[in-house]
Amino acid sequence: MEILSLAHGGFGINTNIFETNIINLAAVVGIVVTFVGNNLSALLDERKKTILSNLEEANQRALDAQEKLNKAKEQLEAAKKKAQEIREEGITRATSEMNTVVSQHEIRLAKLDEFKNETVQFYQQKAFKEAYLYVVSRIMNRVRERLSRGLDSSYHVVVNNFYVSRFTEFSPKREGL
């Protein structure tokens, strides 16, 4: 029950439930709007600020992530370029090293060939000298045999002197003898 003012200027009890409910509802809504409205507004404003702050923070994180992605891409490109440079430098060094090794090998082969030629020439000269000495000793033995068989001692001396003078005048034109 509710006490309301009557049309005649006094207070009384209103027995109409529908009107009483509407009046009670209006009073409750008025009180709720007055007291809770400000708090609800403040709560909604705070929630709005939090959402905006979260959006700004997420936007900043996205910008930071994009910046980090761009830096990572730059570093990847720099690493690719550096890897290509290292690869090219490795090929250049390998080629240079290979050329050096081939050059040294050719020099060693040339020295070995020269040594081989010198060795062959030495043994050829040695063989020629031995052959020369053998031939000369054979000739000398034959001359002695011929002279000792049928010559008298005076003729023998003349022939020996002739051959000795011929051998002393003989000089081989070959080198190293």
Domain extents in the chain:
2-169
Give the integer Cα–Cα distance in Å for 13 and 5. Answer: 8
Report pTM: 0.39
Q: Mean pLDDT, to the nearest integer, of 84-101?
A: 95
Give the integer Cα–Cα distance in Å for 107 and 113. Answer: 10
- Pick the closest to residue 117 from 106, 125, 107 (CA basis): 125
Confidence of residue 9 (pLDDT cuts 50, 70, 90): low
- Higher-confidence position of 16 and 128: 128
Q: Mean pLDDT, to the nearest integer, of 138-145?
A: 84
